[in-house]
Chain A
Amino acid sequence: NAGVTQTPKFQVLKTGQSMTLQCAQDMNHNSMYWYRQDPGMGLRLIYYSASEGTTDKGEVPNGYNVSRLNKREFSLRLESAAPSQTSVYFCASSQPGLPTGELFFGEGSRLTVL
């Protein structure tokens, strides 16, 4: 059982380049999330998808776009990368409303923008 899988694990970009982070979950969860983690700031929500076909902005959406491709996959795109987007990105999924409701996280994608 793979859980939440993110690719790539590491990426170095130059300012202005674009890239897409891929995320897939095999737990049949309805909701998926993208967070970024920066030192001293915890995890901040970029975008989320409450269910297939819907996406909504989180706390820090500027400079990002997302696509909920199907129930399993939720991608995060940086159209024109900036040094301020250097961070560790985490994808997560959950099944809200059930007794559990917790997030299940991928292992993270470390992005450096030069």
Chain B
Amino acid sequence: AQSVTQPDIHITVSEGASLELRCNYSYGATPYLFWYVQSPGQGLQLLLKYFSGDTLVQGIKGFEAEFKRSQSSFNLRKPSVHWSDAAEYFCAVGARSNDYKLSFGAGTTVTVRA
């Protein structure tokens, strides 16, 4: 069965500083990987996704993520955080063999301080 672990429950970062959110997945074959963001009281919005090809993926809002098969990781990064990046971030994994159903991590809450 596929699963996702987000080791960091909460991260606080200063505005303008860099941000990295960790995601580790468990799945035998090549997974489909996603990062979603949820602002307070809102639904989830896709930041970026990885299916195949270039392991460094660019997304919206200046985010990027790198797929590392050897580490079973798909970490999300942003070079310079803005106050509007304060939100909850979810990593998710899916697979064709599982009808493309997504399994989500528990989420990482990001707080941005001025």
Contacts and interface: CB of A to CB of B under 8 A. Distances in A.
Contacts of B32: 101
A7 to B, nearest CB: 14
A102 to B, nearest CB: 5
Nearest to B4: A42
Interface in B76-93: 90, 92
Interface string B25-42: 000000010101000011
Contacts of A105: 36, 43-45
Given A42-B106, A101-B32, A50 B99 contact: yes
Interface residues of A, number: 26
Given A40-B9, A101-B32, A102-B34, A107 B105 contact: no
Contact of B44 (A50, A90, A97): A90
Contacts of A108: 41-43
B43 A48 contact: no
B45 to A, nearest CB: 8
A48 B94 contact: no
A42 B101 contact: no
B46 A41 contact: no
Contacts of A40: 9, 106-107
A43 B101 contact: no
A96 B100 contact: yes
B67 interface: no
B107 to A, nearest CB: 5
Given A40-B107, A101-B32, 17 more contacts: A4-B43, A41-B106, A42-B105, A43-B44, A43-B90, A45-B101, A45-B103, A48-B99, A99-B51, A101-B94, A101-B100, A102-B34, A102-B49, A103-B46, A105-B36, A105-B44, A107-B43
